[in-house]
Each structure stands twice: as C-alpha cells, then as structure tokens.
C-alpha cells in the first residue's frame, strides 16, 4: 500500500547549523508533498509544501526539494534556531483521494 | 479567523466504554478529515468528509468507529466499545477544497485503560 518513510527519527544540531530531513514515498502517483511542524502540545502546522511540477521551493530559512524519479523529497532548514525544535512530519497525497500519508516524524533538537 | 477546534482535549475511559470526539472545522471548509497518531508512530488517515458525505473511509480500523457529519458542519467520531489499542491522539483537519492546505486541530488525546 501507500507508504512514506522518514529519516532520521531524531536529529540534534547546534544552533546556526543546517538540518536536513528526508522522506521517500512509494506511490508514484503522489503529487503533493507538505511538511508539518508540531511543537510540544500544539497542533501540526504546515510550514512548506511542494507540488510535483516543481523541483524546489524556498521560504526564508526553509526549503524543500523533490526528486520524482527517485520518489524522495527533503526538508532543509538553514541557520537553525532553538525555536525550530519540534517534531517534523512529511506527507504525500495524490489527486484522487487527497488523504495525507504521513511519515513517522523527526524530532529535531536545536542546541543553543 | 478561528482555527479547527476539537473537544475534549483529553479523555480517559475504561475498556468497553464509549467515547465521542467532536471536531469543528474552519467555517466554510467543506472538507473534513480525521487522523490519529498511535504510540508515537506516524499520523494515520481515518476518513474524509466532503460536506456531509463520506468521500473516503478506507482508514477506519473497524466497525467500532463511527464518524458522522450531519448538516455538513461539525463532525463526531464515536468509538464503541473502546479497546486498549484505541489509545492515541485523534486529529481533525479541514480544507476549503480538495487540493488546498489541510489545517489541523489541536487533537484529542484518548487514553483507554
């Protein structure tokens, strides 16, 4: 069935360093890839998304890249700050259903 | 603009009891989704409403789960009877149309003892 694998499960970086989280999806028909950030005790919030007709998208310190051939996409956070500490979820969906298939999450810790 | 709201925020029940979770989507959002996260694993899709109709209920685990969205506004998810493995965080999300961003609620943490 549809599956999204996410790595790493935990990531610890020094403030100011970059963080990269990678996801691989199984359904080649997937065409929408959002990233959600969930801070402790709060709701998941969309931070960036990308559609299959684009290879890269950037929003300030956050960027997402998509490789459709390899069926993987990545989240890049530059100049990390302590407030970036959270659990990050990648997801994939396709036009026929729009349900989100989530990865298992990455717990990011940014050390001051 | 008010976000997606869910009630209750926490629920602790005993095995065999019934629990009803409620979700109020963002006003005007026809699409409403239920998801759950069990034991720190991935967030899993349960079902999708378009207005009052069930568009996709392929993720519902079994017939102990019943979702409704009468009138196409708020939705309820009832678990009857609850089992230990139903424990987890139940999220609701809504979107304006099929292809637009899904906005999540804060979740209901369900604990079945």
HEC-encoded secondary structure of A52-87: CCCCEEEECCEEEEEECCCCEEEEEECCCCHHHCEE
Q: Residue A96 — pLDDT band, cuts 50, 70, 90?
A: low
* CA–CA dist A2, A31 (Å, integer): 13
* Residues of chain B above pLDDT 70, percent: 99
Cβ distance A45 to B105 less than 8 Å, yes or no, reads: no
- Across the range A30-54, mean pLDDT stands at 93
User: Is pLDDT at A97 greater than 70 in this prediction?
Assistant: no
Residue B6 β-bridge partners: B23
pLDDT at A21: 98
CA distance B14 to chain A (A): 24
How many contacts does A have with B, using Cβ atoms within 8 A? 56
Cβ-based contacts of B99 with chain A (< 8 Å)? 32, 95, 98
Residue A83, Cβ neighbours under 10 Å: how many? 8
Name the closest residue on chain A to residue B55, using Cα atoms: A97
CB A86 within 8 A of CB A62: no
Which member of B58, B102, B105 has the closest CB to residue A100?
Answer: B102
Q: pLDDT for A44-81, tens place per residue?
A: 999 999 998 889 999 999 999 999 999 999 999 999 99
Q: How far is CA A69 from the centre of its chain?
A: 18
What is the overall mean pLDDT for chain A? 94
Q: Which residues of B touch A45 (CB under 8 A)?
A: 104
Q: Quick one: what percent of chain A has pLDDT higher than 70?
A: 97
Are B45 and A101 a contacting pair at CB < 8 A? yes
B104, B102, A36, B60: CA torsion to nearest 10: 70
Locate the chain A residue with the closest alpha carbon to B100: A98
Cβ-based contacts of A4 with chain B (< 8 Å): 42
Q: With 70 as the cut, is the pLDDT of residue A18 above it?
A: yes
Query: Which of A99, A104, A107 is the mutation pick for testing B, counting most B CBs within 10 A?
Result: A99
pLDDT exceeds 90 at position B72: no
By mean pLDDT, which of A102-106, B24-28, B63-67, B98-102 is the weakest? B98-102
């Amino acid at each position: 069935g549809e599956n999204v694998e996410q790595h790493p499960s935990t990531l610890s970086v020094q403030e100011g360093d970059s963080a990269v989280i990678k996801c691989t999806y199984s359904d080649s028909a997937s065409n929408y890839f959002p990233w959600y950030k969930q801070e402790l005790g709060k709701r998941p919030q969309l931070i960036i998304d990308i559609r299959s007709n684009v290879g890269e998208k950037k929003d300030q310190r956050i960027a997402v890249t998509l490789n459709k051939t390899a069926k993987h996409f990545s989240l890049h956070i530059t100049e990390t700050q302590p407030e970036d500490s959270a659990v990050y979820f990648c997801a994939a969906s396709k036009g026929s259903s729009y349900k989100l298939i989530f990865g298992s999450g990455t717990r990011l810790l940014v050390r001051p | 603009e008010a976000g997606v709201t869910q009630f209750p925020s926490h629920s602790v029940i005993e095995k065999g009891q019934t629990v009803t979770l409620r979700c109020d989507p963002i006003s005007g959002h026809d699409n409403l989704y239920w998801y759950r996260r069990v034991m720190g694993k991935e967030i899993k899709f349960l079902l999708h409403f378009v207005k009052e109709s069930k568009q996709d209920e392929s993720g519902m685990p079994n017939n102990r789960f019943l979702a409704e969205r009468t009138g196409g506004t708020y939705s309820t998810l009832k678990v009857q009877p609850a089992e230990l493995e139903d424990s987890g965080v139940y999220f609701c999300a809504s979107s304006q149309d099929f292809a637009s961003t899904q906005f999540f609620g804060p979740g209901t943490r369900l604990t079945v003892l």
